[in-house]
Structure 1
Amino acid sequence: MVKLEQPLVAFFLVPKSEVIYENENSTMRQALERMEYHRYTAIPILDDSGHYVSTITEGDLLWKIKNDQLSFQDTNNIKLREVPKNMMNKTVSINASIEELVLLAARQNFVPVIDDQQYFIGIVKRGDIINYCYNKLFKV
């Protein structure tokens, strides 16, 4: 078994200032347009205080449009907090271990990172974790 060094979450962190996210009071249309522009399939949702609330995915938005028979214009009137979420990305503390990151990244595109007061401070991308592990395992 290969033993990996234990880097801190901060080693992988994409800070909040560089993350595309939306507020839970934003509309579906705002999220759709932002996701399309940045070519993302999922983004974090925060509350007014800056706490991580959930993750919204393209699928969540499409299912809401289908199930409620919404037009694109209708998406201007529906807040993200009203959209059912298919999954909740689990968060990690800034002090989390690499094992925690790997386990979560196996099921999530990104891992939201929170500080000691539960404020959202950024994300760790699945690809960054995979690249780190690959380099440690195969580029000896």
Structure 2
Amino acid sequence: MNVAFFLIPKKDIVYLKENSTMRQALERMEYHSYSAVPLIDEDGKYAGTITEGDLLWKLKNTPGLTFYNTQDICLKDVEQHVQNLPVTIDAQIEDLISRAVVQNFVPVVDDQQIFIGIVRRREMIEYCSKLLLQYKK
């Protein structure tokens, strides 16, 4: 089964540009109750995933940084501690499974590395669950 079957397109998800600020990330993540969001660069290419942990480590390790001055910190200056590797749109479901073990979602890019959406772990688990139920019958 192809990744496109599970794809949630970019227009339907929350993502941030890497030149967004820490404060924008914190507020957007809080509003949507997300613990991680994809980042894209100015060319629309996938630039990584920013997590709550990344933001907390930056806050802890930056003397004088408080919530109020997080608007001065650009996300591209926040170290990403976990690398959520993307797959291409022509990847197969098997390519997603190993990533889904450690990632809530898998970023999907086209052949130019342009970010086009995500595949959530939930949809992968639901698909595998249906397959297991079919085999039990």
**Number of paired residues?**
134
Cα deviation, residue 138, structure 1: 2.2
Question: For the residues of structure 2 that align with 1:114 and 1:31, how far apart are their CA atoms?
Answer: 22
User: How does 1:8-23 map onto structure 2 within 5 Å?
Assistant: 8-23=2-17
In the alignment, which residue of structure 2 is the partner of 1:3? none
Q: Give the 5 Å matches for 1:93-112.
A: 93-112=88-107
What amino acid is aligned across from residue 13 of structure 1 in structure 2? L
For 1:67 and 1:138, how far apart are their aligned partners in 2? 48
List 4+ stretches of structure 1 deviating above 6 A.
Answer: none
Q: Which stretches in structure 1 are left out of the alignment for 5+ residues?
A: 1-6
- Note if 1:79 corresponds to 2:94: no
2:58 corresponds to 1:55: no
Q: What TM-score, normalized by structure 1, do the two folds share? A: 0.93
Aligned to 1:4: none
CA distance in 2, matches of 1:78, 1:114: 27
1:65-101 superposed Cα distances (whole Å, 9 cap, x missing partner): 1111411111010000000111110110111011101
Gaps of 5+ in 2: none
Residue 33 of structure 1: aligned partner:
27
